[in-house]
Structure 1
Amino acid sequence: MFGKMQKQIFKIFLLFVMFFMLPNFANAAVVWETDFEDVADWSAPRISNGFPNTWTGNPSRTLDPPKKMNGQWLHPSSWVRTSPSTLAVSQGPMATIGAGQGRESSRGLTYNFESGKGNPTYSTGWAGGSPLTMYFGEAGYPELWVEMWVKYPSDMDWWDGSDINYSGITKAFYIARFNGELTVSTSLADDHSVETRPTHPAWLPHMGSFYSSRPYFMQYYNRSQTSNGTPEVYDETVDAWYNNSSYYPYQNILLNNRYTYALPSSNPTVDTIRMDGQWHKYTYHVKMNSAPGVADGIQEVSLDDVRMFRKTNMAFILDGGSVENGWNYIELMDNHHVASHMYTENVSYPVQIDDVVISTNYIGPDYIVGGVDMIAPAAPTGLGVE
């Protein structure tokens, strides 16, 4: 297996070969990617800051998003959102980019998850912000694959078992359709708390996960910000492992815009989130439905290129909406609830991220960031949930 330096050498060699052998080839599948090797050292302090105060399009911004070493923005239209520390004594920045934080001790990004249970302001252990947020323009893309390598520390503990409804949840991926042109005055661009907000007329599929150290398990849910402006509760009982009542007994309780579920009686057979101190690849795929109200949209999640969840009847855009614009707004590692320790214990967990790729088709298990995607491979196979 190639090391990261060997991959870089191979990438240069492959580009050299392609230059002479396939001059008409264009790698149209990849929308954006980074392995952080050309990204400058960066730190996001824990202050209350967000769009538009950190957006690259705001000349008076108070916090810069990540930049490359040559001074260019890591993504040309991006921003970083931060919230104040939930600990009694802040342990450092929300996120950093630097050497030794990526795969094989290369450059990468670290997001520090604070355990803030009992915090006077955020008593449930909530902490907010995204270190890497991207806007792809009004038109967007009808289909996107977003993948990243993530390493959770082996000692990471999400909650103390006292409150399933709040503890142990994170938004690892956040993909949305923002209608309208993003400007410096659009201060509610990433406000996804109100269903009728005109800036968010489309459904916002999330990969959100409940975690427990006794035992581990996973929840997949959607938050419905509907395309026609009318709030609609999504029936989550047909999703993922919700089909298996022995894992997730249905409680029929609406809380915080989502249904809640009882503790599983036993561990799921597929452990989707790996907190073993090793690197794993997470991929989230969404495809817009073909017409308003037509339930043929797709969403799926893969772990290490093995499909863990798939749903093919999503009506992301409802009757009265429009599918003219596609997915155009992405956040990585947004809000999370970690309540394994009281905020006075000052505990945080470093979650490392590397090799982020956003593409319009599946790029395969051996894709090299910055390399050449010669043939679009077949989609991953594995567990299918319709």
Structure 2
Amino acid sequence: MHTVSKSQKISEGDVLPKNWDAIYQGTTWSPETGFPNNHASLEILDSNSEKSLSGSGKSAVFWRESLNLGWRNWASDAQLVKLLDQGYDQLYVEFWIRFSDDWYGRNEGEFGNWVSKFFRIGSWDEVGDIYNGALGSVGPVFIWDWKRDLYGVRNQFTYRGGPHGENYDMSNKYPQGESLNFTTNSIGMGINGTDPLILDRVYGGWLKDFGGRADHNQVFGVGGNWTKMAFYVQMNSAPGVHDGVIRQWINGVQSHNREDVPWIGFNTGNKMAKWNYVAIGGNDYFQHYPNEDRYQDWYSIDNLVVRSDIPLELLSGRAGFAPNPPPEVFVE
């Protein structure tokens, strides 16, 4: 980091990665705060080439801190934001993700209701605070979270409504989120209501057949493994109409699908909104280790692609898992 300021923006003269527009970051133990043996909440460094998908070049490496301030505090934050050239009614985003070998929650017996925010797609009014939607300038927004509790690793979705400044809490009687397993909760969520064939990367077979609880490694693989995640959002057709879409793919297999989301609720003036930014990373609720340990683990995101339509191979179901990055991707 070139500064320890929490909010940094290209528009305000801050130094950020090329083609990115803003970051909200917070870190307690990093070289910038006087701890040379620790890491900032976000690193994009040549020295981290082994943490990239290809094994060379750079990736976005997010470091999670175990920090307890005496309450249910969220810590180690890094939202890296890309503003789009215009607003879109629909967006598709894909990226690859990998977790460190010592990622807490990877192994049997490692749980604690800890949550990390990995990714979001949102609509911003281009005036106010883009990081905190509760302040009224963001909405709708979709967030994908990671969680590991007594019920295994969770496929966690957060939904917030719009337009900006209204219906943020999904007050139109739609759930504000879902905490799902990767096994039985995926049944019927594949293409045309089929059951998705997502590989169990520990025991073999399909996750849908495993039972109610899967651990981290079954979904994301053991240390060193990469997983391709993809998401698609589509605005509802009019305020209050339950026909908006959220869709997810894991390694090219459709794993979640909802087509009843009222992203834009009934509002004054019948206003609509459009998706106009994406962000990787987020803050962490993680307090397993004593503060004096200054414990950090990491996940890496690489080969982010943003487009206005779904790739045809995903619609046909012909996409398969590939261990290496696909050709002709746009890397930022």
TM-score, normalization: structure 2? 0.72
Give the Cα separation in 1 of the matches to 2:282 and 2:229. Answer: 15
| Structure 1 residue 55 corresponds to structure 2 residue 12 | no
In structure 2, how many angstroms separate the alpha carbons of the residues matched to 1:216 and 1:128? 24
Residues 65-104 of structure 1 show CA distances to partners (whole Å, capped at 9, x for unaligned) of 102xxxxxx24xx112211316897412222223313113
Q: What is the identity, as a one-letter code, of the residue corresponding to 1:207?
A: W
Q: CA deviation at 1:245?
A: 9.6
Q: What residue number does 1:256 align with?
A: none
Alpha-carbon displacement from aligned partner over 1:25-70 (angstroms, at most 9, x marks no partner):
xxxxxxxxxxxxxxxxxxx2682421xxx211123x3xx1102xxx
Q: Which residue of 2 aligns with 1:171?
A: 117
Which of the two has higher C-alpha Rg?
Answer: 1
C-alpha separation between the residues in 2 aligned to 1:118 and 1:330? 29
What are the ranges of 5 or more consecutive residues in structure 1 without an aligned counterpart? Answer: 1-43, 68-73, 248-264, 372-386
Query: Residue 155 and residue 242 in structure 1: after superposition, are their counterparts in 2 closer, same or farther (change >3 A)?
Result: closer
Report the Cα distance in structure 2 between the residues aligned to 1:356 and 1:369, rounded to whole angstroms.
12
Partner of residue 246 from structure 2, selected from 284, 296, 299 = 299
CA contact (8 A) 2:160 2:176 kept: no
Residue identity opposite 1:216 in structure 2: G
Counterparts in 2 of 1:136 and 1:215: CA distance versus 1, 3 Å: same
Evaluate the alpha carbon distance shift between residue 117 and residue 274 of structure 1 in structure 2; reply closer, same or farther with a 3 A threshold.
farther
Q: Is the 8 A contact 2:236 2:245 kept in 1?
A: yes
> How far off its partner does 1:282 sit?
0.9
How far the C-alpha of 1:287 sits from its partner, in A, is 0.8
Equivalents in 2 of 1:360, 1:244: separation in Å?
Answer: 29
**CA distance in 2 between partners of 1:192 and 1:55 (Å):** 17
- Say which SS state the counterpart of residue 344 (structure 1) adopts: helix
Runs of 5+ unmatched residues, structure 2: 187-210, 314-318, 320-324
* Contact map agreement 1:46 1:92 (CA 8 A) in 2: no
Letter aligned with residue 191 of structure 1: N
Residue aligning to 1:153: 100
Aligned to 2:130: 189
**335, 347, 357: which one aligns with 2:283:** 335
**AA at the equivalent of 2:27:** P
Aligned to 1:117: 67
Query: 1 CA distance for matches of 2:158 and 2:34?
Result: 34
Q: CA RMSD of the aligned region, Å?
A: 3.5
* Helix, strand or coil at the partner of 1:175: strand
Match 1:210 to one of 142, 147, 155: 147
- Does residue 17 of structure 2 align to residue 66 of structure 1? yes
Q: 1 CA distance for matches of 2:72 and 2:65?
A: 10
SS of the aligned residue for 1:193 comes to helix
Q: Distance in 2 between matches of 1:110 and 1:275?
A: 20
**Separation in structure 1 between the aligned mates of residue 55 and residue 40 of structure 2, nearest angstrom:** 20
Q: Match of 1:79?
A: 22
Structure with the bigger percentage of helix: 2
Identity of aligned residues (%): 14
Change (3 A) 1:283 1:307: same
2:327 aligned partner, one-letter code? I
* Aligned 8 A contact 2:27 2:75 in 1: no
Q: Secondary structure at the match of 2:54?
A: helix
Residue number in structure 1 paired with 2:158: 222
Instruction: After TM superposition, give the deviation of residue 348 of structure 1 in Å.
Output: 1.1
Q: Check conservation: 2:181, 2:212, Cα contact below 8 A.
A: no
TM-score by length of 1: 0.63
